[in-house]
C-alpha cells in the first residue's frame, strides 16, 4: 500500500510539474506577443527603435521643416534622431503605408490638413514649444474697401469657419477640384453662409480681386469665399501668389482682400513691413498649429517620451 501511494505521488508530481511548464510557456508566449504588439502599436518603450529614430518631414526649406530641425536640437532625448526630408506627397505616402499596416510612424504635421479627416491622428505634446505656438488665419483688406465695396467688406468681416470645415474642403478637393469642393461645402452649410451674407444687398457683376497662397488650406478658404462672393453678385478672380506678394498687393491696392495670412508668426514679418497700409479684419479661423504627429493607435503622448539613438 505504501509503495502504491509513493508511486502515485510521483506521478502526480510529474503531472503537476508538466502543467506548470505549460502555464509558464503560455505566459512566456503571451509576453512575446505583447511585446510584438507594443512595437507594432508604437508603445512608448519601443517606438523610438521601431521608427529607427526617424521623423518623416516635408520639403527642405519649408517653415515646418525648420521647426522640426529646431525640435531635434531642443530636446536632449532626440539626440541622434534624423529628420527625413521629402515632400508633402512623400510624407503622406509613408504615413498611409504605416497606417495600412498599423505600424508606428512619426511625421511633421500641421492643422488644417486633410490627413486629419482621412486618418485618426494626434499631436505629440511639445512642452518646450519647439514646433511653435498656435496661430490664427486673418482676413486682410485694402484700405477703402468698406467705402468702395461695402457688400464684400461686410461678408468678409463676418467670414469665420472652423479648422474641421477647412479640412473637409481640402479632403474633398483631393478627389475632385477645390472649386467644386468649396461649392459643395457652401451648399451643405447654408446656416453658416446665411450668417455671413445676412441682409447684404446683391451687386451686379462688380469685379473683385482676391489674393491667396498655394497652400491647400488657403486654396480651400479662398475658393469658399469666392463662391459666396459670386452668390452676392461679384465677378471674383482668385490669384495664388507668394506670401510677400499677398501683402504687397493688398498694401498697394492691386488686390481687394486675402483670407490667407497666418499670424502672428508665419507671415508676421510681412505684416509688420506693410502695417498701416491695409485693414486687418481679424481671424477667420483659429488654432492652426504645427507639430509632430502620430496615429491615434500609438501608445505615446509626448515628444519627451521618445528615447535617444545613442
Mind listing the pLDDT tens digit of every residue in the chain (310 residues)? 444 444 443 444 444 444 444 333 444 444 444 434 444 444 555 899 999 999 999 999 777 898 999 999 999 999 999 999 999 899 999 999 999 999 999 999 999 999 999 999 999 999 999 998 899 999 999 999 999 999 999 999 999 999 999 999 999 999 999 999 999 999 999 999 999 999 999 999 999 999 999 888 999 999 999 999 999 999 999 999 999 999 999 999 999 999 999 999 888 889 999 999 999 999 999 989 999 999 999 999 999 999 999 7
What pLDDT is recorded for position 26? 40
Q: Give the pLDDT score at 64.
A: 87
**C-beta of residue 209 within 8 angstroms of C-beta of residue 237:** yes
278 Cβ partners below 8 Å, 6+ apart? Answer: 140, 141, 142, 143, 247, 250, 251
What total number of domains does the chain contain? 1
In a domain, 310, yes or no: no
Question: According to the model, what pLDDT value does residue 46 have?
Answer: 82
Q: Give the cell for residue 193.
A: 453662409
Helix axes 216-232, 150-158, angle to 10 degrees: 140
Can you tell me the distance from the alpha carbon of 283 to that of 273, in angstroms, rounded to the nearest whole number?
19
Q: Tell me the C-alpha distance between 140 and 247, whole Å.
A: 9
Residue 225 lies in a domain: yes
Count of other CB atoms within 10 angstroms of residue 174: 14
Distance CA 144, CA 299 (A): 53
- Is 42 domain-assigned? no
Pairing of strands 278-295, 135-142: antiparallel
pLDDT given for residue 140 in this prediction: 98
Structural domain for 247, as ranges: 135-289
In a domain, 284, yes or no: yes
CA distance 258 to 260: 6
What is the b/e burial string over 285-303, where b = at least 16 CB atoms within 10 angstroms of the residue's CB? beebbbbbbbbeebbbeeb
Distance between CA atoms of residues 148 and 129, nearest Å: 43
Could you give the CA distance from residue 73 to residue 130 in angstroms, rounded to a whole number? 9
Which pLDDT does position 6 carry in this prediction? 41
Compute the C-alpha angle 212/116/89, nearest 5°.
65
Q: What are the distances in angstroms from CA 118 to CA 80, 172, 174, 204, 288?
A: 31, 10, 11, 40, 18
Specify the CATH number for the domain of residue 163: 3.10.105.10
Distance CA 83, CA 106 (A): 10
Tell me whether residue 285 is in a domain.
yes
Residue 252 placed within a domain: yes
Backbone angles phi, psi at 122, to 5 degrees: -150, 155
Cell digits of residue 245: 506678394
Asked if residue 75 is part of any domain, the answer here is no
Assigned domain for 175 exists: yes
Amino acid at each position: 500500500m505504501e509503495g502504491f501511494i509513493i508511486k502515485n505521488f510521483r506521478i502526480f508530481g510529474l503531472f503537476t510539474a508538466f502543467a506548470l511548464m505549460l502555464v509558464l510557456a503560455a505566459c512566456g508566449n503571451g509576453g512575446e506577443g505583447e511585446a510584438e504588439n507594443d512595437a507594432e502599436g508604437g508603445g512608448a518603450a519601443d517606438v523610438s527603435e521601431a521608427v529607427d529614430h526617424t521623423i518623416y518631414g516635408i520639403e527642405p526649406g519649408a517653415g515646418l521643416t525648420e521647426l522640426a530641425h529646431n525640435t531635434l536640437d531642443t530636446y536632449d532625448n532626440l539626440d541622434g534622431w534624423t529628420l527625413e526630408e521629402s515632400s508633402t506627397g512623400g510624407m503622406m505616402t509613408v504615413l498611409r503605408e504605416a497606417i495600412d499596416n498599423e505600424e508606428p510612424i512619426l511625421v511633421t504635421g500641421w492643422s488644417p490638413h486633410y490627413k486629419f479627416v482621412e486618418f485618426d491622428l494626434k499631436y505629440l505634446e511639445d512642452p518646450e514649444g519647439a514646433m511653435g505656438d498656435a496661430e490664427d488665419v486673418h482676413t486682410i483688406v485694402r484700405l477703402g474697401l468698406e467705402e468702395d465695396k461695402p457688400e464684400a467688406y461686410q461678408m468678409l468681416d463676418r467670414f469665420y469657419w472652423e479648422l474641421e470645415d477647412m479640412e473637409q474642403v481640402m479632403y474633398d478637393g483631393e478627389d475632385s477640384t477645390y472649386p467644386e469642393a468649396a461649392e459643395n461645402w457652401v451648399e451643405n452649410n447654408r446656416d453658416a453662409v446665411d450668417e455671413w451674407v445676412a441682409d447684404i444687398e446683391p451687386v451686379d457683376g462688380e469685379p473683385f480681386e482676391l489674393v491667396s497662397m498655394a497652400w491647400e488650406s488657403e486654396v480651400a478658404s479662398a475658393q469658399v469665399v469666392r463662391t459666396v462672393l459670386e452668390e452676392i453678385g461679384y465677378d471674383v478672380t482668385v490669384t495664388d501668389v507668394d506670401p510677400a506678394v499677398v501683402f504687397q498687393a493688398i498694401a498697394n491696392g492691386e488686390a481687394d482682400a486675402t483670407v490667407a495670412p497666418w499670424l502672428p508668426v508665419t507671415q508676421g514679418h510681412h505684416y509688420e513691413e506693410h502695417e498701416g497700409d491695409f485693414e486687418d479684419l481679424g481671424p477667420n479661423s483659429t488654432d492652426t498649429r504645427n507639430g509632430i504627429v502620430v496615429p491615434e493607435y500609438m501608445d505615446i503622448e509626448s515628444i519627451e517620451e521618445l528615447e535617444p539613438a545613442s
